[in-house]
Amino acid sequence: MKNIVFYVAYPYYFPHFLPISEIFEKNNYKVTYVLSTKQNSSNMEQIAQDNNLNYVFGVEKLFDIDADVIFFANPFEKIQDIKAITVFLEHGIGTKSTSFYSSIQYFDIYLVEGNQKYNRLKELYPQYEHKLAKVGFSKFDEIVNFTNQAKISLFNKYNLDINKKTILYAPTFFPSSIEKMSDNFPDDFKECNIIVKPHYLTYERTKYKNQLKKFKKWEKYPNCSIMPLSEYNLVPFLAISDIMISDESSAMFEFAALNKPVISNRYFKLRWSYYLMPWKLTKRIDKSKEFYRQILDNAYDYSQTVKYTKEALNNPAKLENKRLKFANDLCGTIDGKVSQRIYNTVLDKLNEI
């Protein structure tokens, strides 16, 4: 029996890997997850147990396991010492910079989502074109296949009204707009469900305790639900929500690719060092996102967030044409069958050996 391994450096890799590993298991492959000990190990272990995964801890296990194929979601500098077939699946959809592109030389298979990344890599590294496989974005498979019953179950779990529009606020931890949002945010949208899905580092680092204080104020409102740390997977909330508000999270581009409106908060609570040295913020924010912000409504204060969100509730199709072109260029085919294409790609490679 061939052994398929997934290396999980961070909890947010699971939504990318789980639909792929499920197909391998259905086809009688042994699947093993190698979990990092450096990031959120207890949280990752709980996720692995909840999903009934076969797992071990420690990056060194990648060299001990008799693996036939190993999946990565980030470049791995020691990959040349691994004898298995190595597969790279980037954890973002291509709005990020090209910092990972050079790693194509180390991997046997380099998965890409759509034409934008595929054509750029062919241009930069024509000698490695044979490694490229344009398959789509595996994270979207769960969304396409999300059932109405699953939606109802999630609404019931968090006491949400199935008959109301749902706003998802999914901020990052830094630079974040959380502290700049109104204490009465849920009340400004009392006609809607409000789901707040924090970044896991908001819960785990004490420097972000004021963000948690803000959530305490919001959760007093009956229409607002704050997702706990245990809800590691953003995907179900992307599936059930009508509008997203975010700031610097790349998830806002994933949501827009589903042809749903996104309001991007461009105002942040900064550390004092960033006020004294503004160049630090410029350096931290990924400039390669700027081109794609045309598919978002960009808000520069809280009043604009309210304004653009209400407009999107009334006219969700406003930026539809731009969103659809974006989805096609960066995400490729969104049909719920990406994981199957990845399985077929790996199987073809295995059959070559």
Q: Which tokens belong to 268?
A: 């942040």
**Cα gap 104→129, rounded to integer Å:** 9
Q: Which tokens belong to 324?
A: 């659809």
**Cα gap 272→279, rounded to integer Å:** 13
Quickly tell me which residue has 């692995």 as its tokens. 48
Query: How high is the mean pLDDT of the chain?
Result: 89
pLDDT tens digits, 313-332: 999 999 999 999 888 888 89
Give the helix/strand (H/E) hosting 140.
helix 140-144
What is the per-residue pLDDT for 74?
87
Quickly tell me which residue has 């309001």 as its tokens. 263
What is the per-residue pLDDT for 292?
79
Q: Are 329 and 125 in contact (CB under 8 A)?
A: no
Region of poorest pLDDT, from 32-41, 97-106, 283-292: 283-292
Q: Are 23 and 343 in contact (CB under 8 A)?
A: yes
**Cα gap 34→27, rounded to integer Å:** 20
Region of poorest pLDDT, from 55-64, 72-81, 149-158, 262-271: 262-271
What is the per-residue pLDDT for 272?
44
Closest CA to 193 of 253, 228, 151: 151
CB neighbours of residue 111 within 10 Å: 27
DSSP state, residue 245: E
Quickly tell me which residue has 């990959």 as its tokens. 79
Chain center to CA of 255: 10
Q: What's the rounded mean pLDDT across residues 166-193?
A: 92
Q: What's the rounded mean pLDDT across residues 266-280?
A: 58
Distances (CA, A) of 61 to 29, 32, 80, 83, 351: 19, 11, 15, 13, 25
**Cα gap 115→138, rounded to integer Å:** 16
CA atoms within 13 A on the CB side of 260: 20
Grade residue 209 by pLDDT with cuts at 50, 70 and 90.
Answer: confident
Helix (H, G, I), strand (E, B) or coil at 87: strand
CA atoms within 13 A on the CB side of 184: 5
Region of poorest pLDDT, from 42-51, 78-87, 186-195, 271-280: 271-280
Taken as a whole, the chain contains a residue count of 353
Distances (CA, A) of 343 to 45, 72, 217, 330: 25, 15, 46, 21
pLDDT tens digits, 117-172: 899 899 999 999 999 999 999 999 999 999 999 999 999 999 999 999 999 999 98
